[in-house]
Amino acid sequence: MSRNLHLAFIGFGEAAMAFVQGWGASRPLHIAAYDIKTDDADSAVREAKWGDYEHWQVAGGDTPGAALRGAKLVFSVVTADQAEIAAQSAAAEIEPGTIFLDCNSCAPETKRRSAAMIDAAGGCYVDVAVMAPVRPALHRAPLLVGGPHGAAALAVLGQLGMNATLAAGAVGAASSIKMIRSVMIKGLEALVAECVLAGRRAGVDAAVLDSLEATFPGFDWKERAGYMLERMTTHGVRRAAEMREAALCVEALGLSGDMARATVEWQQRIGDLRLQAPAGDYRARADAVLAALAAPAAVAADYHDIPGTYVFDAEQSRLGYHLNMFCMSLNHEANRQAFRADEAAYLERYPMTDAQKAAVLDRQWNEMLRLGGNIYYTAKLAATDGLTFQDLAGLMTGVGREEYRRMMLDGGRPIDGNRSKSEWQRG
């Protein structure tokens, strides 16, 4: 193994830790990492991630740039919905000739956009598909690598003792294999979850699974049902993000992607429960999921009672993902020029809803937020139009820039009537 290789991770979760663990004492001498959790608003989340860096003896960075400084090999191992953002961040910092391994579960088109950013910055983008769980295989988990820099990446991964195979074709070929395979693998998890949960509620789960075992002998349905429920409980949110990309992959091939999108629903629903999968067989895990699904809704919806506000929570993030990716693309001058040249044509690069596209074209700033836009992202569009943040705030509040400025200097709007929509009902 090459001990002198300087490498970095963007994202330091299960996959990154598994690779480091697998390399063991013969790992490269310099490993750096950056993870978005070090920016989390929750101090416990931030401290836990810094604890991960310390435990695995990697140099944690406050920013992607700090982690990438001096790196000749970069592993991007983030959630699918953050992959393009990670590539964009890396493109601003990556050193010429650095190999960038995009190990994220994304649609081919998403990977091609990331490749364009990395290659334009002088890096060497590589499409990587992780074809099996990283545990227990660790750094020996099977990888498919592709694209014009695939052969170079294969040589470096070989030095790290990793189990990589070259996939023929351009960027997107390896991810196509992974995405289309995920339709079956993650879809089977969702089908098993619905089947087992319904069986438990009807009191016929054992008979159903025994019948399946008789039809498909050797699959060990009860054991696998427990494993699949644990995977969805632990990684459902991440799997849902991956399946959104899988649906885009299928749709780009002229098919409906309906099964992939149905899988998103179950993966997201179970992942959002944030359960710790209990010990025991499938029955204990199914009962824990059923109990959580039956529990009263959390008070998270209370903030929707704030007038004039769209809180950017997980649901809004999912709703506005492609809208926000469009806005972030405007960080680059070449993209701004292309957008100005033909706004409607440029928007076709992103699979936004018709309502989102209309909000962008008509500059309906508040509507963009309602449709999942993040104010810090939509501000990129405002800046492209030559607007300052005060200009934007004035437009969104229905006053001019100077009136908005005076209002804020005077302490903002009065609190009465602006705390809760329920106040309006009381006059």
Q: Is residue 29 within 8 Å of residue 53, measured between CB atoms?
A: no
Secondary structure of residue 124 in the 3-state scheme? strand
Q: Tell me if 381 is assigned to some domain.
A: yes
How big is the CA angle at 230 (ends 179 and 186), to the nearest 5 degrees? 15
* Domain annotation covers residue 1: no
Assess whether pLDDT exceeds 60 at residue 149. Answer: yes
Q: What is the pLDDT of residue 311?
A: 83
Last residue of some domain: 244, 266, 295? 295
CATH code of the domain containing 195? 1.10.1040.10
For residue 318, the model assigns a pLDDT of: 80
Which residue range is the domain that position 414 belongs to?
Answer: 301-425
Confidence of residue 416 (pLDDT cuts 50, 70, 90): low
In a domain, 154, yes or no: yes
Mean pLDDT comparison of 161-165, 327-331, 399-403, 421-425, highest-scoring range: 161-165
205 within domain boundaries: yes
The answer to whether position 259 is within a domain reads: yes
CATH code of the domain containing 377 = 1.10.700.10
What CATH number is associated with residue 149?
3.40.50.720
The whole-number pLDDT of residue 2 equals 67
Q: Same domain for 203 and 143?
A: no
- pTM comes to 0.68
Q: Quick one: 155 and 226 in the same domain? A: no
Q: How far apart are CA 181 and CA 362, in angstroms?
A: 40
379 occurs within a structural domain: yes
Among 128, 146, 171, where does a domain finish? 171
What per-residue confidence (pLDDT) applies to 297? 53
Q: For 345-373, how does the pLDDT look when each residue is reduced to its tens digit (9 = 90+)?
A: 999 988 888 889 999 999 999 899 989 99
Mark whether 308 and 291 lie in a shared domain: no
Beta-strand pair 59-60/30-34? parallel
- Share of residues in the chain with pLDDT > 90 (%): 74
In this prediction, residues 106-130 reach a mean pLDDT of 96
- Both 326 and 253 in a single domain? no
Does 11 share its domain with 157? yes
**What's the pLDDT at 394?**
81
Domain check: are 94 and 124 in the same one? yes
Is there a domain that residue 113 lies in? yes
Looking at the fold, whether 129 and 246 belong to one and the same domain comes out as no
Residues 6+ apart with CB under 8 A from 71: 6, 7, 8, 32, 95, 98
Residues with Cβ < 8 Å from 214, sequence gap 6 or more? none
Query: Between 295 and 177, whose confidence is greater?
Result: 177
Residues 190 and 329 grouped into a single domain: no
Give the residue from 171, 198, 233 where a domain finishes: 171
What pLDDT does 3 receive?
78
Do residues 95 and 121 touch, judged by C-beta distance below 8 A?
A: no
Domain count along the chain: 3
Residues 167, 180, single domain; the answer is no
User: For the chain, how big is the Rg over CA atoms in Å?
Assistant: 24
244 plus 365 within the same structural domain: no
The whole-angstrom separation of Cα 354 and Cα 255 is: 20
* Whether residues 195 and 286 fall in one domain: yes
pLDDT per residue as tens digits for the range 5-24: 999 999 999 999 999 999 99
137 lies in the same domain as 65: yes
Per-residue pLDDT of 258-314, as tens digits, reads 999 999 999 999 998 989 888 889 999 999 999 999 876 544 456 666 666 788 887
Asked, for residue 50, whether it belongs to a domain, the answer is: yes
Mean pLDDT of the residues in the chain: 91
